[in-house]
Amino acid sequence: MATASFIANWKMNKTLAESRDYLNKLQKLLPARAKSGDQVILASPYTALASLAEWIRASSLEIGLAAQNLHFAAEGAYTGEISSSMLYETGCRYVIVGHSERRLHCGETDEMIAQKLAAAGIAHLVPILCVGESEREREQNKTVAVIKRQIKKGLCLGLSSKGHENGPLDLSDCIIAYEPVWAIGTGKTPTPFEVEKVHREIYDYLQSEGVVSEGMPKILYGGSVNEKNISAFMEKAHIDGVLVGGASLSAERFVQMIELGLEAKETVCTS
């Protein structure tokens, strides 16, 4: 069976009632092959995580749950923040780290992101590390350099003789989402060919850092993915899945994208 990951990033959307409704729709509409395994992950606001976890447990769905952020400290005087162990306790097993909206609006730096990745590892949360260049960096041909810097600093690569120093973080369990900043929520996307090229660069970079011997992180694409363009992305061998924002807010559209994406991945695997 083709394996692929589909992450719905709800951002700051959906009340509890809306989350329940969404899950009911997934229960009815998701194809059987996408109901088991952690191919489908919902990144909901904090307020819905615990309820979603309970509803998922009581359903036939085996989908994963992600938080959209975490704090790097284990506990303490950080008003308004949430720690990795608190997230784990809700039933959440994934966490988005370094989304460009947080880098931009909340001033998150590569160094803070590295601390958050370490905190995720300590609590056994699988981090979904978002990396991507701005429009200006793309115009200046800096895409690969920016992404390598974000991955190197985030994952603390090259800090020890082993090649990396990431504490309890198992890199083979990480997910990397390549999300060009200029493509998020804009309707603009790089071509699937361009995305695949960047994914290869990431793969080669991780290989050169000795990460591959432990198993490769999955590398997903994110940025204005929808029902019309998902197949073209998923047909590429080096694109392991997608992180979808706006278009994932409708359960019907998200399910349609999963169906199209799995179909496209199967074509790659059988050709």
Which C-beta is closer to ligand PEP: that of 151 or that of 225? 225
Catalytic annotation present for 179: yes
- Pairing mode, if any, of strands 241-244 and 5-9? parallel
Q: How far is the CB of 198 from ligand PEP (least distance, A)?
A: 15
Amino acid in the structure at residue 198: V
Catalytic-role residue among 108, 133, 179, 209: 179
Residue ranges binding ligand PEP (CB under 6 A)? 9, 11, 179, 184-185, 222-225, 243-247
Contacts of 80 (CB under 8 A, 6+ apart): none
How many other CB atoms sit within 10 Å of the CB of residue 215?
Answer: 11
Per the structure block, which two tokens stand in for 234?
């998923």
Q: Which is nearer to ligand PEP, 153 or 253 (CB)?
A: 253
Min separation Cβ 246 and ligand PEP, Å: 3
Give the shortest CB-247-to-ligand PEP separation in angstroms.
Answer: 6
The question of whether 214 is a catalytic residue gets the answer no
Cα angle 26, 258, 255; round to 5? 30
- Cα distance between residue 175 and residue 130, in whole Å: 9
Nearer to ligand PEP, 190 or 223 (CB): 223
**What are the contacts of 146-150 at 24+ separation with CB within 8 A?**
147/178, 147/198, 147/201, 147/202, 148/201, 148/205, 149/110, 150/98, 150/110, 150/113
- Compute the least distance from the CB of residue 1 to ligand PEP, in Å: 26
Considering the complex, state which of residue 11 and residue 238 has its C-beta at the smaller distance from ligand PEP: 11
Q: Which residue has the tokens 């097993």?
A: 93
Q: Give 146 or 211: the residue with its C-beta nearer to ligand PEP.
A: 146
Could you say which of 99, 133, 164, 199 is catalytic? 99
Q: What gap in Å lies between CA 12 and CA 52, rounded to an integer?
A: 16
The CB-of-10 to ligand PEP minimum distance in angstroms stands at: 9
> What whole-number distance in Å separates Cα of residue 163 and Cα of residue 151?
13
Strands 218-222 and 175-178, bridge-based pairing: parallel
Give bridge partners of residue 177 from the DSSP assignment.
130, 220
Give the nearest residue (CB) to ligand PEP.
Answer: 245
DSSP string across 20-48: HHHHHHHHHHS-GGGTSSSSEEEE--HHH
Residue among 118 and 220 whose Cβ is closer to ligand PEP: 220
Catalytic residues: 99, 179
